[in-house]
Amino acid sequence: MRFIRELDQMIAYEPGQPLELVMRRFGLSEVVKLASNELPVPPFPEVQEAIIAAIDGLNRYPDGHCTDLRAAIAAHYGRDGEEVVIGNGSCELLMLIGDAVLERGDELVFAAPSFTVYEDISRRHGAAAVRVPTVDFVHDLDAMADAVTARTKLLIVCNPNNPTGTYVPVADVQELVDRVPDDVLVIIDEAYNEFVSAPDAQDSLELQTTHENVVVLRTFSKIYGLCGLRVGYGLGAPALKEALDKLRQPFNVNRLAQVAAIEALKHQDKVRARAAANAEVRAYMAARLAARGRATVPSEANFMLVDVRGLSVPPEQVFEALLAKGVIVRDGHALGCPGWARVSVGTRAETDFFLAKLAELEPGAGPLSEGRRS
Ligand SMILES: Cc1ncc(COP(=O)(O)O)c(C=O)c1O
């Protein structure tokens, strides 16, 4: 077989470990997964009902244009359906946008650390990844604007940023966008937008209406709890939709995903309740860790970076040590944050489980931890 040369530079995406696998490997009866920034509760009951009702139609292909879902998203944001792109998760949209704009020798600007998929997007096209270091884990938007050259085709702002959870005000993103030439496509990746509780949070969609070269990506994977179905969307110029329609596979969003997303959008009161619940557990987790002298990075998302230095095992072994105790987190090292673990905000009970297991790794917790094991 002869593969494209770009593959030599690429590595396969490493997802969080599946629950069942960890249970089997360590012979555990209780395992908590806080590794993939998933919502810890099932989809809304109304969404589950809509999915069940749609099962009968699975012998038919889905609507390739996502007509009803497109209309629902457009109505939700007061936009035109031609401004809405829908994908098999926002990951697919990120890749399709890369396909649409990147060629060998082009440059893609993004923060470091940020979502690891951005790196893959540049590599698959032989484009150069221009990684702009964050400052205290926050996007350095000025430096990102400075990094734009005549070869830059794409710039991505991840807000809140994965894996740091940090958030930049939309007014600052606006300044960046104002500085970027019109022929550079700017993606504002807002997979975690609905979790933001910062008082200065504004709507970046406003920014998108004044700049044709901006696309805002959001997803049903996170706050809507539908990552298992794969559906994400973007709001951008109609020209972007035209381009992606040529590149995407004909039926990229499955039938169940479409009906589930349409139903989910109708329950904004529940979305707000979920955001509030997330903010509460997020604050609780940070406070409990701070009380132990353990630092976290202030997060506006449904995960946070936790300092795992100074434990009884070296930081690079914390991931495996927690795994053996039944807690799956993400090793910060693999995400560009050595010395930190990225931990999703779970339910209060899941968070307590994580806090207890992490406490067992604190220096001097040895004998106590034996006693705590059940
Ligand atoms: C920053 C960011 N963007 C996009 C995605 C992709 O989400 P999905 O493809 O599930 O919509 C993720 C998933 O973790 C993410 O963290």
Cα separation, 211 vs 81, in Å, equals: 18
* Whether the CB of 114 sits within 6 Å of ligand 1: no
CA atoms within 13 A on the CB side of 213: 18
* Residue 16 vs residue 299, higher pLDDT: 299
25 Cα to the center of ligand 1, angstroms: 28
Supply the pTM of this predicted model.
0.95
* Whether the CB of 90 sits within 6 Å of ligand 1: yes
Could you tell me if 155 and 185 are in contact, meaning their C-beta atoms sit under 8 angstroms apart?
yes
Which residue from 219, 300, 303, 335 has its CB within 8 A of the most atoms of ligand 1, so it is best to mutate? 219
* Whether the CB of 232 sits within 6 Å of ligand 1: yes
CA-closest candidate to residue 6, choices 108, 105, 152, 100: 105
- Of all atoms in ligand 1, which is nearest to the CA of residue 230? 10
Residues 337-345 have a mean pLDDT of 98
Residues 317-322 have a mean pLDDT of 96
- Of all atoms in ligand 1, which is nearest to the CA of residue 227? 10
What letter does residue 261 receive in the DSSP assignment? H
Structure tokens, 270: 């529940």
Residues 201-227 have a mean pLDDT of 92
Question: Can you list the alpha helix ranges (DSSP code H) found in 10-65?
Answer: 19-26, 45-54
* Whether the CB of 219 sits within 6 Å of ligand 1: yes
DSSP structure string for 232-259: EEEE--HHHHHHHHHHS-TT-S-HHHHH
* Whether the CB of 164 sits within 6 Å of ligand 1: no
Look-up of token digits 């990552």:
227
Q: Which pLDDT tens digit goes with each residue over 55-98?
A: 999 999 999 999 999 999 999 999 999 999 999 999 999 999 99
pLDDT at 367 over 60: no
Percent of the chain with pLDDT over 90: 87
370 Cα to the center of ligand 1, angstroms: 38
Which residue from 92, 117, 187 has its CB within 8 A of the most atoms of ligand 1, so it is best to mutate? 117
Structure tokens, 17: 């470990």
313 Cα to the center of ligand 1, angstroms: 31
- Give the CATH number of domain 45-267: 3.40.640.10
CA atoms within 13 A on the CB side of 194: 23
Q: Examine domains 5-30+269-372 and 45-267 and report if their fold is the same.
A: no
Residue 148's pLDDT is what?
Answer: 98
Percent of the chain with pLDDT over 70: 97
366 Cα to the center of ligand 1, angstroms: 38
230 Cα to the center of ligand 1, angstroms: 10
Q: 273 in helix, strand or coil?
A: helix
218 Cα to the center of ligand 1, angstroms: 8
pLDDT at 149 over 90: yes
Structure tokens, 220: 């049903």
Residue 10's pLDDT is what?
Answer: 86
CA-closest candidate to residue 221, choices 192, 195, 241: 192
Q: Could you tell me the residue ranges of all domains in the chain?
A: 5-30+269-372, 45-267
pLDDT tier for residue 370 given thresholds of 50, 70 and 90: very low
What strands lie across the sheet with 152-158, from one edge to the other?
Answer: 84-87, 232-235, 214-219, 185-189, 152-158, 107-112, 128-133
* Whether the CB of 302 sits within 6 Å of ligand 1: no
Residues in Cβ contact with 122 at an 8 Å cutoff, skipping those fewer than 6 apart? 98, 102, 108, 128, 129
135 Cα to the center of ligand 1, angstroms: 22
Q: At what angle do helices 255-265 and 67-77 cross, to 10 degrees?
A: 20
39 Cα to the center of ligand 1, angstroms: 13
Look-up of token digits 């998933």:
38
* Whether the CB of 158 sits within 6 Å of ligand 1: yes
Cα separation, 55 vs 19, in Å, equals: 27
Could you tell me if 90 and 233 are in contact, meaning their C-beta atoms sit under 8 angstroms apart?
yes
Residue 209's pLDDT is what?
Answer: 87
Cα separation, 201 vs 207, in Å, equals: 13
CA-closest candidate to residue 310, choices 356, 362, 272: 362
pLDDT at 366 over 70: no
CATH level 3 topology of 5-30+269-372: Aspartate Aminotransferase, domain 1 (3.90.1150)
Q: Which pLDDT tens digit goes with each residue over 15-52?
A: 777 888 889 999 999 999 999 999 999 999 999 999 99
pLDDT at 315 over 70: yes
pLDDT at 156 over 50: yes
Q: Which pLDDT tens digit goes with each residue over 127-137?
A: 999 999 999 99
91 Cα to the center of ligand 1, angstroms: 6
Residues 201-214 have a mean pLDDT of 87
Residue 145's pLDDT is what?
Answer: 98
